[in-house]
Amino acid sequence: MSVEQSLLGKETEYPTTYSPSVLFPISRDAAREKYAQIEGISQGKDWWHVFELSWLNSDNIPQVAIGRITLPATSPYLIESKSLKLYFNSLNFHVFASKQELIDLVEKDLSQAANAKVSLELFDVDSLEISKPSGMCIDDLKPERLESHPDASLLKLDANEQHDADVTLYSHLLRSNCPVTGQPDWGTVFIRYTGRKHCYRSILAYIISYRQHNGFHEQCVEQIYADIWKNLQPEKLMVYATYTRRGGLDINPCRVSDVSWMPNPIRLARQ
């Protein structure tokens, strides 16, 4: 099924009984066709934070937590976000004898939808710490030119620097649109690389060029990764985006050329 057949952007009744059938998988294949030869394009993880997670204990008393879902980038399918929200809402009046029983059921359902092993970690509502971004923020730089849609030709090496670098850059200016509803998605993107020094202004211009682009979070991160890999040819590369939440969910895709560069998942203040 195509995403147009999903519940995204449509008026929907929220289920009050356990409803795993609402989960809507979306194949990753179509978006990855042109990146098939890019090293690391399916190497990494998608982390989701679930802020509206509630169920009933054996005494019928509501329980709440924050959940972190880990979905491998090798999974054939991602899960459409509104269907995931509906799924978690369908658990609000379901009785679980323990947190582990909840975790086991959610992992089973999400793994079936993604056709890969998905994990769920629960946090007390006051215990998921807010992190500070690390690296060099490039948001105060002035790009040489601006484009309204992703343009890989913006990406340049630093002509004045021939030495290799190991650098982590980040920008809070990533903005794209949901490809179905057109609603804006905001995020902070981290780019770590080793190799010839990149022109930081060109990286910022490239990130800004996503402002009118229609794409799912995971697809945007993979396009950023692929364009940097092809055009700047780093020795190693990591692209990690922490998107702000919508509908009680935030999505945080990360792709790496070397698994040793996988970062620990974080939550930023805007999330």
* Longest distance between any two alpha carbons in the chain, whole Å: 68
- Cβ count within 10 A of residue 62: 10
In the annotation, is 166 catalytic? no
Structure tokens at 138: 């490039």
User: How close are the terminal C-alpha atoms of the chain, in Å?
Assistant: 31
| Bridge partner list, 246 | 249
* Three-class secondary structure of residue 246 per DSSP: strand
- Cβ count within 10 A of residue 49: 22
Nearest alpha carbon to residue 187 among 261, 271, 263: 271
163 contact partners, CB below 8 Å, separation of at least 6: 197
**Rg of the chain, C-alpha, whole Å:** 19
Selecting among 46, 140, 166, 185, the annotated active-site residue is 185
Supply angle C-alpha 77, 190, 259, rounded to 5.
Answer: 60
Asked if 245 and 271 count as a contact pair (C-beta separation under 8 A), the reply is: yes
Distance CA 225, CA 204 (A): 14
Alpha helices by DSSP H, listed for 144-199, are none
Selecting among 46, 109, 178, 250, the annotated active-site residue is 178
In the annotation, is 178 catalytic? yes
Residues catalogued as catalytic: 178, 185
